[in-house]
Structure 1
Amino acid sequence: MTTAPPPPSPPSPQQPAVLSLAGVSLHRPTSGQEVVLDRVDWTVRTGQHWALLGANGAGKTTLLKIVGAVTFPTSGSVEVLGERFGRVDLRQLRARIGLVSAAQAVPADATAHTVVLTGATGTVQPVWRAYDDDTRERAHRLLAELGLDELAGRRFGDCSSGQRARVLISRALMADPSLLLLDEPFNALDLPSREDLIDALHLLADRQPGLTTITVTHHLEELPPNTTHALLLRDGRVLASGPVAVTLTAGNLSACFGRPVQVTHDEGRWYARSGHSADSGR
């Protein structure tokens, strides 16, 4: 295993911006006006695959909610998929963004195929009159692309955690989004399930080169080989942002997580190991 990061990718023609944040801040409405996000600048372009990393409480989920058109910032400008906040109905914008979160409420007694179908209408329960033959076939096709074709008739609640994560990704893709947000999709997965999901995301990126993804995670080991960029948050501020080769360094990650971190890279995969903190006396 080598400790050297991959060389930076050669320059390529600049792709259109999928999202652009300028000076974005968000204050929690408490007596102290706690700053959750502080002057975040961030541009993501078509076909890029970003990792969003940071310790608990760094502001990752809040930032994802803003990007996902769920939350308005306190200040700053936000443009997603060519639409500027304040000039667009966020409900309509959300319909163009795919979101995958373990916290999503979907009926556990519905089949995997039915759960994917609900992504076409953006509803929790199926709206059967809205699903024609082409829509049903698309749901089957998406399940097959994520390696779940044999589970189409299985109850969602009977699927494993890794299978449920892939079903939810298939559901998010039903609306044919240009932007896919993955909020800790590897949470509570065992190693085989984690690797299955990584393989599925890697394959998805190859099959849909125009799709842009942002993945919130705590662990470098969860990053698919196709990850192109990373943004590191600490205390609501951007600590580092850019191509993975220059962002996922030992120095940046040590500063991000507040303790020494060793970083290695091998065959497209990233690994991190933390030593003892400087003030531990060891």
Structure 2
Amino acid sequence: MTRTAVPVQSGPPAGAPVIRADDVCLVREGNVLLDSVSLTVRSGEHWALLGANGAGKSTLLGLLGALTHPTRGTVEVLGRTLGRVDLRELRTLLGHVDPRHPLRSPLTVGQVVLTGLTNSIEPLPRWTPGAEQRERADRLLKMMGMGEKTASRWPALSQGERGRTLIARALMPRPRLLLLDEPATGLDLAAREQLLDSLDALREEHPELATVLVTHHLEELPASTTHAMLLRGGRCMARGPADSVLTGELVSDCFGHPVRISRTEGRWTARARRAARR
């Protein structure tokens, strides 16, 4: 794929905190969804949130994305504390990628990317992007390997093409933080590899950008992943540098099933650990 580098919003120096969640709890209708979870993400770090269904991954990502407030604890995103800031305004400073993007209209790929500037699903009435904004959208699509699809309609795209389009959309406001909620959901092997290759290239070209990616599968982690958190039942089981967290022992405990973990050319693989035959 041909890519063109695109400048991302200038942010804090490398290593500066972008997210700080301290002893966060989230309770809904008597159900504890998150229980005393703490996390600090710094500029240039690329975190993976892993765990089984219902572990609290997407719930935590929603807090980090300023979609809701914690029941207890504090969350700071880009230096702003939830509960003391307009969430709608804060969300305009973030890049949030959800493969379940609820678009129903047959917008073109270019139009979808431009909605990242208005933080809306559909183009806003009476809003017209300028030439510089259109040029930026084109450059982002080229960077994501979608340069020849600008005029294609959303319903005609494959799931992988939609995923890369949504990443370009999320990058339009030049965010310092990119949140990805299971971006490889529903992708076949080739589409998944194209997506992960695009993420690796993006992170290499923009070392100041911080990312947090949610997934169930280690095979869906880009090689550029630097840190990981394992969640189970709304609690953090382990967090830290990826190589120290993504071990057979810790991942087995997290998912409640014995697995072996291997890493080849920067990518992780998990396999069930079978009992020896007699």
Give the TM-score of the pair, scaled to structure 1.
0.91
The aligned amino acid for 1:200 is S
2:10 is matched with which residue? none
Matched, 1:45 2:42: yes
What CA deviation, in whole Å up to 9, does each residue of 1:147-184 have, x standing for no partner? 10000000011011100000000001111111110000
Q: CA RMSD in A?
A: 1.7
Residues 110 and 80 of structure 1, relative CA distance in 2, 3 Å threshold: same
Equivalent-residue separation in structure 1 for 2:128 and 2:75 (angstroms): 32
Decide which of 76, 87, 106 is 1:79's aligned counterpart: 76
Decide which of 245, 248, 251 is 1:247's aligned counterpart: 245
Please show how residues 108-147 of structure 1 align to structure 2 within 5 Å.
108-127=105-124, 129-147=127-145
1:233 is matched with which residue? 231
The answer as to whether partners of 1:105 and 1:124 remain within 8 angstroms in 2 is: yes
Equivalent-residue separation in structure 1 for 2:114 and 2:167 (angstroms): 12
1:4 is matched with which residue? none
Equivalent-residue separation in structure 1 for 2:35 and 2:100 (angstroms): 26
The answer as to whether partners of 1:16 and 1:45 remain within 8 angstroms in 2 is: yes
Percent sequence identity is: 50
Decide which of 130, 152, 155 is 2:153's aligned counterpart: 155
Please show how residues 164-175 of structure 1 align to structure 2 within 5 Å.
164-175=162-173
Equivalent-residue separation in structure 1 for 2:83 and 2:127 (angstroms): 34
Decide which of 78, 97, 102 is 1:100's aligned counterpart: 97
Equivalent-residue separation in structure 2 for 1:241 and 1:14 (angstroms): 20
Equivalent-residue separation in structure 1 for 2:252 and 2:105 (angstroms): 40
Equivalent-residue separation in structure 1 for 2:50 and 2:103 (angstroms): 27
The answer as to whether partners of 1:38 and 1:236 remain within 8 angstroms in 2 is: yes
Matched, 1:197 2:192: no
The Cα of 1:28 is off from its aligned counterpart by 1.6
Give the TM-score of the pair, scaled to structure 2.
0.92
The Cα of 1:102 is off from its aligned counterpart by 1.6
Count of matched residue pairs: 265
The answer as to whether partners of 1:259 and 1:276 remain within 8 angstroms in 2 is: no
> Unaligned 5+ residue runs, structure 1?
1-12
The Cα of 1:107 is off from its aligned counterpart by 4.0
1:27 is matched with which residue? 27
The answer as to whether partners of 1:221 and 1:271 remain within 8 angstroms in 2 is: yes
2:212 is matched with which residue? 214
The answer as to whether partners of 2:14 and 2:44 remain within 8 angstroms in 1 is: no
Equivalent-residue separation in structure 1 for 2:28 and 2:83 (angstroms): 20
Please show how residues 180-195 of structure 1 align to structure 2 within 5 Å.
180-195=178-193
The aligned amino acid for 2:185 is N
What CA deviation, in whole Å up to 9, does each residue of 1:196-233 have, x standing for no partner? 00100000001111111111011111111110000000
Equivalent-residue separation in structure 2 for 1:138 and 1:107 (angstroms): 24
SS of the aligned residue for 1:177 comes to coil
The aligned amino acid for 2:192 is R
**Structure 1 stretch displaced more, 127-136 or 95-104:** 127-136
Matched, 1:16 2:13: no
Equivalent-residue separation in structure 1 for 2:20 and 2:35 (angstroms): 15
Equivalent-residue separation in structure 2 for 1:107 and 1:168 (angstroms): 14
2:5 is matched with which residue? none
The aligned amino acid for 1:93 is L
What CA deviation, in whole Å up to 9, does each residue of 1:130-150 have, x standing for no partner? 300001111101000001000
Equivalent-residue separation in structure 2 for 1:14 and 1:91 (angstroms): 27
